[in-house]
A and B are shown apart, each in its own frame.
Chain A
Amino acid sequence: MKIHYKISHRSGWVALFLAVLTGILGSGCRKLVEVDQPQGTVTTSDAFSTNELAGAVIAGLYSQLMSNSGSLVFSNGGITLYGGLTADEFLSTQGTADELNYPFQVSKIQATNGVTESVMWKPAYKLIYNCNMAIQTLSANESGSVDAKSRTQFIAEAKFIRAFTYFYLINLFGDVPLVLTPDLYQNKSMARTSQALVYAQIEKDLLDAQSVLPTANTISANASRIRASKWAATALLARVYLYEKKWQQAQDQSTAIIGSGAFSLVNNLPDVFNQKSPEAILQFRQDSTVTPFNGVWDEQNIAPLYSWDDLTQGAGAFYLLDVGLYQSLAPYATPKYYFTPQLAAAFENGDARFTNWVRATPTPSIAPYTGITYYYPYKYTLGFFSTGKSPTQYYMVMRLAEQYLIRAEAKAQLGDLSGAAADLKPLRIRAKLGDVPVTTQDAMLSAVAHERQVELFAEWGHRLFDLKRTGKASAVLGAITTKQPWDPNQLLYPLPPNDIVNNPAMTQNPGYTN
């Protein structure tokens, strides 16, 4: 008996010890190694756990498009600038001293030029990762606490932004890897996908978005035109069909918008880019009260600090007579980038768009100056660094005028020349210009192309993309003296060399060496 008692006594201790250990290492073992969630950040499962948090992720997509932590990105002015330089819109006043950007102007970009990476490639794919994460997580979150309506809308917005981003990626870089999930292992060695397949995915995303997004996005107050709506998806779809030469579909989509009655052309040209402009289909909200700066880069990048007229108060001619005096003002009045002679000459006489949307800084005709006039875009009028004030203008992403131009072109392609002319008419009336004569299809297409050049100048690289998609790029740009010797490979930007190094499946665009 006694012996038996002792055994149980001792084995009791051993059992207790083993119980403690198994307690730690057994059932609770995995749990015990877990720590609280990080405090400065939320995990993915939390980020999509409520309407509010998931909404913050979607708001983050727009913030990346517009603010991008205060630096230039393709979607807040990057494409306008570099697209304009690569095409025949802008020249740099600094010339070769503008080391990073000058190569775009003369079409001598090197793969090691970091601009295409930092402004376009990297932020675009970061944005796509965020979209993919949102689409995947919200789609899987069937019974989550994000309500069905918001979830549907958030997914659609993410799809729209993904399509929007891929649209610019393929137009800038050609074939690009079509990343559709956040999966690291799948993505890290992905090869480039043909543009046709990327376009197919863009169409699919846009059709999905179009089918569920409301006509006015009222997810938050005053948001109707600063977040993706059914019309934004339709407008981009119209543009995508146009680029794909699907004329009928392009016409249908643009008709849907024009015929909707939701939008109207703004007759007073200086008001076109105002916030809540009736012409706006999608704008990004700029907010000068938010840090870091969350505003239109077109002004910072291109316009001078003060306009010549404001600075000289009407005494401009006086300053042009004295080089010394001019020098004292020039740094404040000279734009960083100015119109190429081709763009300045493209406007017809009396085009109201030239008088309203273009400003000029003259130079003296005395050496070292040449008397050249620096024209620069003045679509955005708020001035440089208009911080602290609530801005009256938002960054225009898509507007009704483009839809008229899309339909005009689609109609011209389909043979409806008078229909095309009719669609150009409202824009020309607004510009105080007469009708376009209806003659041949080629003439009509040229007329549409011309109208696009002077209506959509300094907006989102339209000119470059138009030249490229219509096959006229080499003919037009190849004729420019400063771009000699002309290399058509320059029409596609180089991929970041690091990406080619880090991903063996990736190839560089032709004409570039790492």
Chain B
Amino acid sequence: MYKIYTKKRCVPKSHVSKLFLIMRLTFAILLIALMQVSAAGLAQKITISKTNASLKSVLKDLHRQSNLDFLYTDELLQHARSVDINVKGEELKSVLDHLFKDQPLTYTIEDRTVVIKEKNYLQRLKDDIKDLVSSPQLVTGNVTDAHNEPLNGATVLIKRTHKGVNTDVHGTYVLVTAEPNDTLLVSYIGYKTAVIPVDKHIIINVKLFETTSPLDEVVIQAYGQTTARANTGNISHVSAADIEKQPVMDPILALQGRVPGLNIQRQSAYEGAPAMVEIRGRNSINTSFTSDPLYIIDGVPQSSINIMADPNRKAVQNIPGTNSVYSLGLDQTSMTLSGGQNPLFSLNPTDIESIDVLKDADATAIYGSRGANGVIIITTKKGVAGADQVHVGIDQGIQKVTRFWDMLNTQQYIAMRKEAFANDKITPTATNAADILLGDNSRYTDWQKYAYGNTGTWTRLQMALSGGNQQATYRISGGYNSSKGITILSGQNLRASVESNLSVHSKNQKFNLSFTTNYSYTLLSQVAMPSVATQAPNAPNLFDAGGHLNFAAYKTMGISYPANDIINPYSGKTNYLTTNVNLNYNIVKGLTFRVNLGYNTSTNNQEKINYLASVDPTAANRQGSANYGTSNNLNWLVEPQLEYNRLIDKGSLDVLFGGTDQYNMSRALLTNGGGYKSDALIHSITNAATVRSTDAYGQYRYLGFFGRINYTWDNKYIINLNGRRDGSSRFGPANRFGNFGSVGLAWLATEEKWLRNALPKVISFVKLRGSYGITGSDAVSDYAYLSQWGNASPVYGDYNGTPVLISQILDNQDFHWQVNKKLEGALDLAFFNDRLSLEAAYYRNRCDNQLINYPLSEITGFTSVVANSGAAVQNSGWEFQANAQIIKGKSFSWSSNFNISFNNNKLLSYPNIQFAPQYYLTHFKVGASLDDQYLFHYEGIDPQTGHYVFTDYNHDGKVQSNESVSPGTGTDDKYYVISTKPKYQGGMNQQFTYKSFSLTAFFSFVKQMGLSAFSSNAGSFNYNISLEQYQNRWTTPGQTNATVAKLTTNYVAPQGTIGDNSFSSSSGAYVDASYIRLQTLALQYALPKEWAAKLKMTNLAINANAQNIFVITPYKGLDPEIRNYPSMPVTRTITLGLSANF
């Protein structure tokens, strides 16, 4: 290592000099500001005669004779040539002209002062190039945007030669090889290319306007920007406009259905709930690795270590019905009722400028060992130069559950239970049938509506100030977003956030500093409700007449009180801060040094008090308890970079080198106080009779060196090379560093004349691109390479008063990255002047060197060790996207876009899978998908007995499960395969504008299978069922149309076999859970300008936004997305708002 970098430093000196000589000319230009020559004349008569005199002495004479002041510095005159002069009674002006004719200096006369200065750069340039070029035309000028802001790095090409230059930080360019009748092509990323004839002009200033073609929209790539036209990789861009229209608090939810290949499954309908995010399928067989991509927020990675304060719980949770896991995020104490807290919940969606999803090797390889699962770059809004602007937005709305399911009423419930008893040949008694014999059977409560029938409220307030000039721009915004969800009894979910961005340029534009701070406070209030939703319809009120929990009434019915936690709400408060400083220094034209400094911290404080009042007063040893959780997460990052770009011949070269140093710390502390005897004292841990605390701590350090070389030849051929060398603290000293890289190629076919001429005119753009590369994953737990001693889990007793240390894990110094080899090929097409664009991409990702817990012979002292497995997982699939501006009229326009993606996951190989850890052996098969579930095959209901019938796959006379063999082998009959991952998914957006109206409708769709909401046995104590189940139950021998087994109070399967209660692990319980959801509907009306003007506003608009309007699905249950009935369903949010700009 040492050697490599020493060598690099020692580039032979001759090369260095050559490089800089070539650049000398342009460098000189950089140093001098453009000035105007003053041409004032004066009439003094001068007489002077000198030979070989210093300019200074002559100027002194002139001063005496003319009585004018001469302003200069000695330093300035150092390079002056000596002069010969012999004049008599000449005018001062002509004397001066003569004197300065061959000097590197010039003069101006201002008032009564002659100012001596360096020669105007244009004049000097002309002098300089006189010898270099024989018959050139010099063309120079500035390139600016519509607001006259200089564009640094714009390309100015001569159309004839396809050669040209880039502008400098002032937007200035100098072309020395133009001919008088040449045409210039001036282009800049995100702007329309300008075509300008030279027409013998010397100074040509160019103003560029932003593009309207979606192909030229700026998308954010790793450490830079690009466009769909110029990109060699696969990046999907979601802009602020799409995000703002959705009344969601969590920005990740705004991405659902919008990005092909991105699968987002939220884990509950609570605000802030974590989501499983998967880009192009699951790569790891290790079921403790999440599929989370790398999140970069304003250049700072949002990493957290999955630790868990409670040693009995895991920081990652399995998603029922899959082999995938999700992280509990900021909730590293496992206290939330939503199953975790998404770190991105702390970001205000209305502060986000864009979210870019990087998928293939070309786009992600520069992130090296962290890019295996893809990268999501979130960029917040920045100030733009121009008039100061104030934006105010107010939205107010309501939330409701979209649909309920018909459950049995009291009469039906009683009949249902009686039938179950009759089927079981059991006589209902006060002990076994208290729910129907001891309750008040005139009561009826629709518990589903009781739990989820409330109306929630939704509020969003937003205010932003922005503006600035050439030197500085700023944006400060404050946001407040609150939702009082349908189950919240007290408190609310809220986020208050402040985002500020300040960007400062030095006067010469060479130095630029951008400072962004994002602070937010979030509060989550949650109450657990699901257990009430399925209880008997005649169950008593939850509260008695005095407003206390109704323990007594439930006791008489023999039901244990189901809702103790209804008065024990959970609250989680998060303080979140992300700060980012970006320093840019333009060393010389084309060469920029940049440092990105980032700091990100979050602190999550949680509280859940279990009041004494929530404990049955008659219970023995009645006591209250209090739980407090704290999760901290801290990241810092330093990324120095050096970027060089210039045009070489017909091509444009962009070279980037940089380094990353990242540190992450996570800490979690969980404190349980117990034995409280009074609710008055319960809010202080001091008063707890017993206190138990557990904590966890982890550190992660990451170091990388990266480079990218991008070369575009003649706007036709693009090659993009990425390389990265990474070090991660998660590996043993010998395996810390690894190399990653990619190559991306693109061919803009329509730039070829022969093809352009051959293709019909309607085809405006054809591009072929492909990439191949290697990324990695270091998502293994921290310190796994280190042998450790401790006594935490499990706890061993002290010995003779001496605390003990026991070896905790078997260390393996030799494991290293999991490697993901990504291949992609894509075709981009555009028609009708880019108004219709299509993209089709095929990818194939192969992930090997899988990091797993490798099973060991116990003679090693342990049952497993972290090691790389030879198993390989492949994800392959297709992604399609279409954008169309269907109608683009003056008053009416209609644009539309559509995307769909298919992913196919496959366990390609697993050497010696028969020796694999039991979980892998019993869940995975070579050649099958990691997402496959192995189930009993459901045949139907036995018309005679009313029991479910499952296929006896191995014909051994018994249908049974064996959890220690590969499914469907040996005595195991679970051979039927179902995957609950989407077969395909996507979205469709329609946007209409008519005069001042705009309407957006966004549909998302998923084709998938899912566990039926009604798969549990019907007939058991205090468990209500749906009317649907009831009506389709088996009742009489010989009945053939039943879909639900005969009712039973307590079904026990015959020993060694499975029975009705295994229905949920059979194919019968898995149903089509596909859906099309009208996810967003947004209507906006901008009031006439005159009205707004009267209110001193530049514009004023009224919006109506709605999320989750309706869902079309064959799925029977509350919602096809959150399927684990009866947990809280997805709600519909409808808001009405005003937005004004001053």
User: Residues 897-919 of chain B: 1 if any A CB is under 8 Å from the residue's CB, otherwise 0?
Assistant: 00000000000000000110000
Contacts of A38 in B (CB 8 A): 697-698, 782-783, 786, 788
Q: Which residue of B lies closest to A129 (CB)?
A: B861
Interface residues of A in 16-64 (CB under 8 A from B): 17-18, 20-22, 24-27, 29-30, 32-36, 38-44, 46-47, 53, 55-57, 59-60, 62-64
A496 to B859, CA, bound (A): 10
How far does the Cβ of B844 sit from chain A's closest Cβ, in whole Å? 32
Is B798 located at the chain interface by the 8 A CB criterion?
Answer: yes
Give complex CA distance A53, B805 in Å: 8
Nearest chain-A residue to B921 (Cβ)? A501
Measured between C-beta atoms, what is the minimum distance from A369 to chain B in Å? 28
For A204, list chain B residues within 8 Å (CB).
none
The docked-state distance in angstroms from the alpha carbon of A100 to that of B1005 is: 52
Question: Which residues in chain B, 728-787, are within 8 Å of chain A measured between CB atoms?
Answer: 728-729, 733, 736, 782-783, 786-787
Pair B695/A40 contact, Cβ less than 8 Å = yes
A184, B810: Cβ atoms under 8 Å?
Answer: yes
A17 touches B806 (CB 8 A): no
A18, A33, A43: the one within 8 Å of B728 (CB): A33
In the complex, per-residue mask of B618-652: 1 if CB is within 8 Å of any chain A CB, else 0:
00000000000000000000001010000000000
Within 8 A of A (CB), among B844-873: 855-863, 865
Q: CA A337 – CA B811 in complex, angstroms?
A: 41
Q: Enumerate chain B residues within 8 angstroms of A13, measured Cβ to Cβ.
A: 585, 587, 591, 593
Nearest CB in chain A: distance from B643 CB, A:
11
Within 8 A of A (CB), among B773-816: 782-783, 786-792, 794-808, 810-812
Give the distance to chain A from B438, nearest Cβ to Cβ, in Å: 30
Cβ of A125 and Cβ of B860 under 8 Å apart?
yes
Is B700's beta carbon under 8 Å from chain A? yes
A501 contacts B915, CB within 8 Å? yes
| Chain A contacts for B725, CB-based, 8 A | 25
Size band of the interface chain A makes with B:
35 or more
Given contacts A25-B703, A40-B696, A42-B789, contact A502 B856 (CB under 8 A): yes
Give the distance to chain B from A445, nearest Cβ to Cβ, in Å: 36
Residue in A25, A221, A502 whose CB lies within 8 Å of B855 = A502
Q: Using known A-B contacts A32-B703, A129-B860, A188-B856, determine if residue A40 contacts B807 with beta carbons closer than 8 Å.
A: no
- Measured CB to CB, the closest approach of chain A to B369, in angstroms, equals 11
A372 lies within 8 A of chain B by Cβ: no
Residues of A within 8 A of B810 (CB): 129, 184
B803 / chain A contacts, CB cutoff of 8 Å:
56, 59
Q: State which of B4-12, B125-133, B1043-1051 sits at the interface with chain A.
A: B4-12
Chain B residues, CB < 8 A from A18 = 5, 8-9
B861 contacts which of A7, A35, A40, A125 (Cβ < 8 Å)? A125
* Residue from B588, B593, B783, B797 with most neighbouring chain A CB atoms (10 Å): B797
Given contacts A43-B786, A292-B797, contact A179 B805 (CB under 8 A): no
**Any chain B CB within 8 A of the CB of A6?**
yes
Chain-A contact segment, one of B16-24, B57-65, B375-383, B1006-1014: B16-24
Minimum CB–CB distance from A63 to chain B (whole Å) comes to 4
B800 contacts A226, C-beta separation under 8 Å: yes
Given A11, A62, A506, which contacts B16 in the complex, CB threshold below 8 Å?
A: A11
B1030 at the interface (CB under 8 A from A): no
Residues of A351-396 contacting chain B, CB below 8 A? none
**CB proximity of A161 to chain B, nearest CB, Å:** 12
B858–A40 CB distance below 8 A: no
Is B1 located at the chain interface by the 8 A CB criterion?
A: yes
Is A187's CB under 8 angstroms from B799's CB?
Answer: no
Within 8 A of B (CB), among A65-84: 66-70
For the complex, give the distance between the alpha carbons of A56 and B798 in Å: 9
Q: A59-B800, A60-B799, A184-B865 are in contact. Are A47 and B789 (CB under 8 A)?
A: yes
In the complex, which residue of chain B has the Cβ closest to the Cβ of A46? B789
Tell me the complex Cα distance, A182–B788, Å: 13
Instruction: A249 to B929: give the CA distance in the assembly, Å.
Output: 64
Q: Verify if B701 is at the interface (C-beta below 8 Å from A).
A: yes
Query: Which stretch, A207-215, A283-291, A302-310, touches the partner chain B?
Result: A283-291
Residue of A nearest to B865 (CB): A184
Cα separation A30 to B736 with both chains bound (whole Å): 8
Binary interface encoding of chain A residues 492-514 relative to chain B, with 1 for a CB under 8 A from any of its CBs, else 0: 00001011011100100000000
Bitwise interface map of A from 252 to 275 toward B, beta carbon under 8 Å scored 1, else 0: 000000000000000000000000
Q: Name the B residues within 8 Å of A55 (CB-CB).
A: 802
State how many angstroms separate the Cβ of A225 from the closest Cβ of chain B: 11
Does B661 interact with chain A (Cβ within 8 Å)?
A: yes
Chain A 437-469, CB within 8 Å of chain B: the 1/0 string?
Answer: 000000000000000000000000000000000
Mask, B800-834, CB within 8 Å of A = 1, is 11111111101110000000000000000000000
A501 CB to closest chain B CB, in angstroms?
5
Within 8 A of A (CB), among B661-719: 661, 663, 695-703, 705
Contact of B723 with A by CB under 8 A? no
Q: When chains A and B are docked, how far (Å) is the Cα of A184 from the Cα of B787? A: 11
Q: Is the CB of A24 within 8 A of B795?
A: no
Residues of B within 8 A of A36 (CB): 699
A480 within 8 A of B: no
Secondary structure at chain B's binding surface: helix, strand, loop or mixed?
A: mixed
A129–B705 alpha-carbon span in the complex (Å): 40
Known: A30-B736, A38-B786, A47-B789. A503 touches B857 (CB 8 A): yes
A43:B796 contact, CB within 8 angstroms: no
The answer to whether A10 touches B587, judged by C-beta atoms less than 8 angstroms apart, is yes
State which of A33, A128, A129, A294 has its C-beta within 8 Å of the C-beta of B729. Answer: A33
Q: Which of B5, B27, B786, B802 contacts A25 (CB 8 A)?
A: B5
Chain A residue at smallest Cβ distance from B698: A38
The answer on a CB contact under 8 Å between B858 and A33 is no
Distance (whole angstroms) from the CB of A208 to the closest CB of chain B? 21
When A7-B17, A14-B642, A29-B1 are in contact, do A59 and B802 touch as well, CB less than 8 Å?
A: yes
Are B789 and A57 touching (Cβ within 8 A)? yes
- Judge whether A184 and B812 touch: CB under 8 Å: yes
List chain A residues, Cβ under 8 A from B807: 126, 129-130, 133
Residue contact B659 to A20, C-beta cutoff 8 Å? yes
Please determine whether B861 and A128 come into contact, CB atoms closer than 8 angstroms.
Answer: yes
Give the distance in Å from the alpha carbon of A78 to the alpha carbon of B898 in the complex: 67
A17-B640, A20-B640, A41-B790 known; A47-B805 Cβ under 8 A? yes
Of A15, A60, A70, A506, which one neighbours B806 at CB under 8 angstroms? A60
With both beta carbons as reference points, the residue of chain A lying nearest to B31 in the complex is identified as A6
Instruction: Collect the chain B residues with CB atoms within 8 Å of residue A177's CB.
Output: 859
Q: What is the CA–CA distance of A292 and B702 in the complex, to the nearest angstrom?
A: 39
Q: Is B1019 part of the binding interface, using a Cβ–Cβ cutoff of 8 Å?
A: no
B799 and A66 form a contact (CB under 8 A): yes
**CB atoms of B806 and A63 under 8 A apart:** yes
- The reply to whether A43 and B789 form a contact with Cβ atoms under 8 Å apart is yes
A298 within 8 A of B: no
> Which residues on B sit within 8 Å (CB–CB) of A129?
807, 810, 860-862
A133 to B809, CA, bound (A): 12
* Chain A positions within 8 Å of B657 at CB level: 17, 21
What is the CB-to-nearest-CB distance from B2 to chain A, in angstroms, rounded to a whole number? 6
What residues on B are CB-neighbors of A343 within 8 Å? none
**A26 close to B2 (CB less than 8 A):** yes
Q: Are A220 and B782 in contact (CB under 8 A)?
A: no
Q: How far is the CA of A365 from the CA of B448 in the complex (A)?
A: 60
CB B31 to nearest CB in A, in angstroms, measures: 9
| Given A117-B858, A227-B800, A294-B797, 6 new contacts (CB under 8 A) | A6-B24, A39-B695, A47-B805, A63-B798, A63-B806, A129-B810
Binding site for B on A (CB under 8 A): 3, 6-7, 10-11, 13-15, 17-18, 20-22, 24-27, 29-30, 32-36, 38-44, 46-47, 53, 55-57, 59-60, 62-64, 66-70, 117, 121-122, 125-126, 128-130, 133, 176-177, 179, 182, 184, 187-190, 220-223, 226-227, 285, 287, 290-294, 496, 498-499, 501-503, 506
A–B pairs, 15, beta carbons within 8 Å: A6-B24, A11-B20, A17-B657, A25-B703, A26-B5, A26-B6, A38-B786, A40-B696, A46-B789, A57-B804, A63-B796, A63-B798, A184-B860, A187-B861, A189-B857
